[in-house]
Amino acid sequence: MYDLVCIGVSLVDSIIKGFNPNPISKAGYFADSGTLSVGGEAVNQSITASKLGLKTAIVTGLGYDGAADLVMHALTADHVDVSHCVRSDEIHTPVTTMFVNDDGTRKSCMNLSHRFNFHPEQHMEVLSETKAVSIGSLFRPPFNDPEIIYAVLSRAKELGLTTYVDTKLPNYNKLSLEDIKRSLPLVDYIFPNEDEAAYYAGVNDPEQQADIFRAYGVKTAIVKLGARGCLMKSQTGRLILPAMPIKAVDAIGAGDNFIAGFACAKHDGADDMEALRFANMCGAVCTEYVGATTGIRSREQVIARFSQI
């Protein structure tokens, strides 16, 4: 029924650009802009993948609150199947405040609602209806529990699914690669950025970082290097691709768009270099707009944007 199922958190980002730390009154500050945007790895990836042409579903936890209503509206507007969303009065949909700098880098402020979510391992029926699954993200709720990680990935591999796995730096519950070593051989593609890769691998060189992930059994490690592009290592060799020549205004969601683009290309039978190039394009388009799911409108738009490069 589906080309891709995305599993992970949903949230709303309150994005503040151009924050001036100098107060204009006792408790008042100026900023250039303030924007509300739905987010969370599963939301960003499922929306982008749907826009790129994949039939997509999401498994996520949502409350019955205003933030959840915004998420549900965005998902359905972009034709993501929401029938597997888990809604409960016990879930408080997280809201993240993001301070975005002029170069697109950002800082975020989380709260306790980010700690509590849902149990995806209890809602795995949908995996029998898809070709691939994306986990977003390891080391953050709900995937900061080794048993939950293993339950979801082992079920996916029992069904023969391709597994795409994003990572994040830990917040509340800190795990290491050693803590989840029985799950890592179940991962087909893992996508840490260079800061995450350095944290978990314990080395700063991207080549060595990828090698360490692969030593734990991951089939293919793709280290996202921001403005320097990306590095892929697999059993067939090594690929490196520079970043696309763009002017970034907001890096929120770029990694999620990258993964969705990669999954889309792989679904269509692309080889590793073709998939990596299309993923690079998707991440780049995302950074040219404010918001994680604002930039990409269609596969044709992404291709046309870089047709002369």
Q: What is the pLDDT of residues 54-98, one digit of tens each?
A: 999 999 999 999 999 999 999 999 999 999 999 999 899 999 998
**103 has pLDDT over 90:** no
Helices marked H in 178-246 — which ranges?
194-201, 206-215
pLDDT value at 117 more than 80: no
Q: Which amino acid is it at 17?
A: K
pLDDT band at 226 (very low <50, low <70, confident <90, very high): confident
* Mean pLDDT within 265-270: 97
Q: Which amino acid is at 136?
A: G
Residue 219, helix vs strand vs coil: coil
Average pLDDT over residues 128-140: 96
- Amino acid identity for residue 55 in this structure: K
Residue 307: what pLDDT? 84
Give the list of residues 6+ apart from residue 294 with CB closer than 8 angstroms, or none. Answer: 37, 286
The average pLDDT across 178-195 equals: 98
Choose among 164, 120, 118, 150: nearest CA to 3.
164
pLDDT computed for residue 126 by the predictor: 97
Most trustworthy range by pLDDT among 50-54, 171-175, 248-252, 293-297: 50-54
In this predicted structure, which of 26-30, 114-118, 150-154, 215-219 has the lowest mean pLDDT? 114-118
Model pLDDT, residue 182: 98
The yes-or-no verdict on residue 101 having pLDDT over 90 is no
With cut-offs at 50, 70 and 90, classify the pLDDT of residue 173: confident
> If you classify domain 4-19+32-305 with CATH, what class do you get?
alpha beta
Q: CA 93, CA 11: separation in Å to the nearest integer?
A: 6
Q: Is the pLDDT of residue 104 over 80?
A: no
- Give me the chain's average pLDDT, please: 94
Q: Which residues of 33-45 are buried (b: 16+ CB within 10 A; e: fewer)?
A: eeeebbbbbbbbb
Q: What are phi and psi of 136, to 5 degrees?
A: -135, 110
Q: What pLDDT score was predicted for residue 247?
A: 87
**Sheet strands (E) in the chain:** 4-8, 11-17, 33-39, 56-59, 61-62, 86-87, 95-100, 106-109, 132-138, 162-167, 189-191, 220-224, 230-234, 237-241
pLDDT category, 309, cuts 50, 70, 90? Answer: low
- CA torsion through residues 267, 273, 276, 277, sign: negative
